[in-house]
Structure 1
Amino acid sequence: MKLPLGNDSVAVSLPDCTVTVAQPAVTEPIDVHTAATTALEAPHGPSLADRVDPDDEVAIVVTDGTRTVPDDVLLAVLLEELADCGIAREQIMVVIGLGLHRPMTDDEIERMLGPHADLARNHDPKRTVEVGTVDGCPVKIGRPVAEADVVCSTGVVEPHQYAGFSGGAKTVVIGAGGESLIGYTHGPDVLARDGVRLGRVDGNPFREVLDRAGDLVDVDFCLNLTHGPTGVIGVSAGDHRAVVSELAATARDALAVSLEDGEFDAVVCGVGAPKDANLYQASRAATYVALGDHNPLRRGGRLVVPAALPEGAGEGTGERRFYRQLARAPDPDSLYKRLLEGYEPGAQRAFVLTRVLRDHEVFVTNSEAPGVVEECLMTAADDVGSAVEPGSNVLVVPDALNTLFVRRTSRI
């Protein structure tokens, strides 16, 4: 079989193992441009035309290169609609929602947004304006977004370790926000609350904070999509909460795989580009599998992640903090206990990963940065075959970031 590796694939052979492949049901993909146009015609809440005036300055926040989103298509549809509303191109600014990730290069922006790249600028988390508070935490937003008359966003509603599903207000309040909200939502107090779980939106405290922050920022209009194994399967537009709710339901139906409790000795987690560019992002595969609604691994079982890692641990502020926490720790238990006392934004990925490392070994294979892997309390291996013990009962997950495991007797 083949698994994704960077923009290519790698052959995997496990002849001495019992192998099960976790593959969500095949869902027919849709044409993004057509579906986005249709979504704008029937949005949740008022239409975009009812939310803008011809003299408005408009900020559109888009995801950065760590997300697999055809932002060029979604942006083109939004720009067409805004033009029909009398908004000139000069009145529009596109802000790339980096959060604490590294800035995108001009070439990367050009590849991502095509003919609309000239409208774009990277979010600067140091140039923010406070717009209010949530739970006593200051909500700060990038000045270009805060000063706009209308705030729109594109994005993807996909499984997210903390928010349940990404998208909606998150693209704006985290992607174009300041460290205060990132630090609060990604801190141990919030992440340890009941309901903060992969695949859950309703009753998820993390998601609720993001939505309330989105109201403060006044996120006027979202255009989001969701995807399954074969491509984009849904597009929705309008009010940010309703957009996430609709697309999360679509994604759950498409991505669910039911399994028995703890039946596997090892899980091989496929990632691929863009998420396997660095260890910060690629490590999501291990945590999504082990910390979801249902962990298919037995206690002490092994997670194996093929990942290219051309950027090593990662180059952004959050990625560097993640690396420092792991690299200076003697073992997962002591790091977990120390991080319970608090950490800088970005280091939450180290906190979540140590929860997994306390119960499971994590092997990263086929990478360009084996030394970084070893420094970060994980094990580097040349290939998947050498990371899996002979005779193991193995679950192979071709797309670990877009597969939701549920118990065979449960319903999603």
Structure 2
Amino acid sequence: MKVELGYGDGFKSLWIPEDMQADIMRAGSCPKMEGKEGRKPVEEALLCPIGTGRLRDLAKGRHNIVIITSDITRPMPTWAVMPDILAELKQAGVKPSEITLVFALGSHRGHTKEEKVHLAGEAVSREIRCIDMDPNDFVHMGQTAHGTPVDVTRAVAEADFCICLGNIEYHWFAGYSGGAKAVMPGVSTREAIQINHSLLTDEEAVVGNADSPVRRDLEEAALYCPIDFILNVILDEHKNIIHAVAGHYILAHREGCRLLDEIYGREIDEEADIVVVSQGGRPKDLNLYQMQKALDNARHAVKKGGIIILTGEAGEGLGEPVFEEWMVNAGSPGEILERIRREFRLGGHKAAGFALTMEKAEIFLVSSLEDEFVRSIFMKPYHELQDAFDAAVISKGRGARVLVMPYGGSTLPILRKERRG
């Protein structure tokens, strides 16, 4: 059986012998949503918002509208949805000069001019102002019960109408992406993000839980920095929009989560000896910081003592300085877990995610990183997927059970007995 896994802008090929027990985890069948008269998902969602009126009605009389969208590390196709958003705003009488598109960086790097144009689309980037959030210019708007400061970039804080865009997929401690995450952590300070993310140590902060304490906290932040409307999309394995929800930042988001579960929550009968996983290529495999999400989903599918083959180019290395410092300076994965319990730091939480997986399974990393460096962060280095797989088969034997997750950041393995319980 031949399988191709996304790697950077291309693929890595894998041949699995026909006599091995191997399954490929793909999304469930779900036709592209189209409404009456063949309307596309975004058009249909904007026509039938959940929990609010239409955007064209809500935005009437507003003169400082901000649209928050994802940065370059996310697959959100901003360029594909902005024309419909702008059409609604024009129907409300809003002028292009009254609209700002803000790229939510969170704790990530800023964009180049070319990246901004790519994300927004050339026509949109010419028509309205498109900016990165300013990490040094924030407004304090309140504080959540958990103590998270609602410190929001000024362009968003001073707007009189806020629209949040995003794609919904599984998130390893916020339950799901999308919704109010555009504000927290999207356009918040690093300190605020760190305090919110410290809730990841709570036992309920797990993938697929929409009531995660992390999400409850970030949705409370939206009470201080109001979100007037959201448009969230669900993508297929090729990053095409197959579903969209619009309207209230909680009600519409939860409907999107339900749809995501139908497509990407995949039951398995038992855990595998070898799990081969990829984020699906760019932009999700730019660095190890982003690849951790696919790794965490794979952790739910691998047997204790098994092997996970994590595949991604990681052309930008680890991708975050604190994450790198925690990984490079640790003496063992256990040391990282001890450190996160006594000293929570944003960036360190990703190192803890790797360490948590390493407690359960060995990680073979197929990437562009130097071999010696990969060994120093407790993983076995490979540059070809086939080489890594062949080594895993030698270790576990031809009778090993294999699971391939070509889009590991999107598909969530669920043990059948767990769902029934």
TM-score, normalized by the shorter chain, greater than 0.5: yes
Give the 3-state SS of the residue equivalent to 1:380 in structure 2. Answer: strand
Moved more, 97-106 or 113-122: 113-122
Specify the code of the residue in structure 2 equivalent to 1:24. A
2:69–2:78 Cα contact (<8 Å) kept = yes
Residue 368 of structure 1: how far off its partner (Å): 4.4
Give the 3-state SS of the residue equivalent to 1:283 in structure 2. Answer: helix
- Which residue does 2:136 correspond to in 1? 126
Residue 172 of structure 1: how far off its partner (Å): 1.8
Q: Does structure 1 residue 13 correspond to structure 2 residue 18?
A: no
- Which residue does 1:4 correspond to in 2? 6
Residue 198 of structure 1: how far off its partner (Å): 0.8
- Which residue does 1:75 correspond to in 2? 82
Number of residues of Structure 1 aligned to a counterpart in Structure 2: 400
Specify the code of the residue in structure 2 equivalent to 1:198. V
- Which residue does 2:32 correspond to in 1? 29
Q: Distance in 1 between matches of 2:84 and 2:111?
A: 23
- Which residue does 1:353 correspond to in 2? 354
Aligned positions of 1:303-342 closer than 5 A: 303-314=308-319, 319-342=320-343
Q: Does structure 1 residue 364 correspond to structure 2 residue 365?
A: yes
Aligned positions of 1:141-156 closer than 5 A: 141-156=152-167
- Which residue does 2:151 correspond to in 1? 140
Give the 3-state SS of the residue equivalent to 2:41 in structure 1. Answer: helix
Q: Can you list the C-alpha shifts for 1:295-335, whole angstroms capped at 9, x where unaligned?
A: 22111111111111111112xxxx11111100000100112
- Change in CA separation of 1:371 and 1:215 when aligned onto 2, cut-off 3 Å: farther
Aligned alpha-carbon RMSD (Å): 1.9
Moved more, 49-58 or 24-33: 24-33
Specify the code of the residue in structure 2 equivalent to 1:25. G
Give the 3-state SS of the residue equivalent to 2:125 in structure 1. Answer: helix
Matched residues, percent identical?
A: 26
Residue 347 of structure 1: how far off its partner (Å): 2.1
- Which residue does 1:241 correspond to in 2? 250
Q: Does structure 1 residue 117 correspond to structure 2 residue 125?
A: yes
2:103–2:132 Cα contact (<8 Å) kept = yes
Moved more, 118-127 or 271-280: 118-127
Q: Distance in 1 between matches of 2:134 and 2:380?
A: 35
Aligned partner of 2:275 among 260, 267, 276: 267
Aligned partner of 1:63 among 67, 70, 79: 70
Moved more, 104-113 or 92-101: 104-113
Q: Does structure 1 residue 376 correspond to structure 2 residue 387?
A: no
Q: Distance in 2 between matches of 1:24 and 1:162?
A: 21
1:160–1:199 Cα contact (<8 Å) kept = yes
Q: Distance in 1 between matches of 2:124 and 2:207?
A: 33
Residue 72 of structure 1: how far off its partner (Å): 1.0
2:6–2:12 Cα contact (<8 Å) kept = yes
2:34–2:44 Cα contact (<8 Å) kept = no
Aligned positions of 1:112-261 closer than 5 A: 112-114=119-121, 115-118=123-126, 119-134=129-144, 135-187=146-198, 190-201=199-210, 203-229=211-237, 231-261=240-270
Q: Can you list the C-alpha shifts for 1:365-385, whole angstroms capped at 9, x where unaligned?
A: 142444443332222112223
1:310–1:369 Cα contact (<8 Å) kept = no
Give the 3-state SS of the residue equivalent to 1:40 in structure 2. Answer: helix
* Alignment gaps of 5+ in structure 1: none
Specify the code of the residue in structure 2 equivalent to 1:53. K
Q: Distance in 2 between matches of 1:34 and 1:28?
A: 12
Give the 3-state SS of the residue equivalent to 1:130 in structure 2. Answer: strand
Residue 64 of structure 1: how far off its partner (Å): 0.6
2:41–2:242 Cα contact (<8 Å) kept = no
Q: Can you list the C-alpha shifts for 1:263-283, whole angstroms capped at 9, x where unaligned?
A: x11100022111111111112
- Which residue does 2:304 correspond to in 1? 299
- Which residue does 1:85 correspond to in 2? 92
Q: Does structure 1 residue 283 correspond to structure 2 residue 292?
A: yes
Structure 1 length-normalised TM? 0.92
- Runs in 1 of length 4+ with deviation above 6 angstroms? none
- Which residue does 1:393 correspond to in 2? 401
2:102–2:130 Cα contact (<8 Å) kept = yes
Q: Distance in 1 between matches of 2:209 and 2:265?
A: 13
Specify the code of the residue in structure 2 equivalent to 1:6. G
1:228–1:251 Cα contact (<8 Å) kept = no
Aligned partner of 1:41 among 42, 47, 55: 47
Structure 2 length-normalised TM? 0.90
- Change in CA separation of 1:124 and 1:372 when aligned onto 2, cut-off 3 Å: farther
Q: Distance in 1 between matches of 2:10 and 2:246?
A: 33
Q: Distance in 1 between matches of 2:371 and 2:61?
A: 54
Q: Distance in 2 between matches of 1:47 and 1:351?
A: 42
Q: Can you list the C-alpha shifts for 1:173-226, whole angstroms capped at 9, x where unaligned?
A: 211111232101212xx112132111111x321111111111211011101111
Q: Distance in 1 between matches of 2:109 and 2:348?
A: 15
Q: Distance in 1 between matches of 2:234 and 2:77?
A: 11
- Which residue does 1:407 correspond to in 2? 415
Q: Distance in 1 between matches of 2:20 and 2:415?
A: 23
- Change in CA separation of 1:369 and 1:87 when aligned onto 2, cut-off 3 Å: farther
Residue 236 of structure 1: how far off its partner (Å): 0.9
Q: Distance in 2 between matches of 1:156 and 1:31?
A: 18
Q: Distance in 1 between matches of 2:7 and 2:419?
A: 32
Residue 91 of structure 1: how far off its partner (Å): 0.6
Moved more, 214-223 or 388-397: 388-397
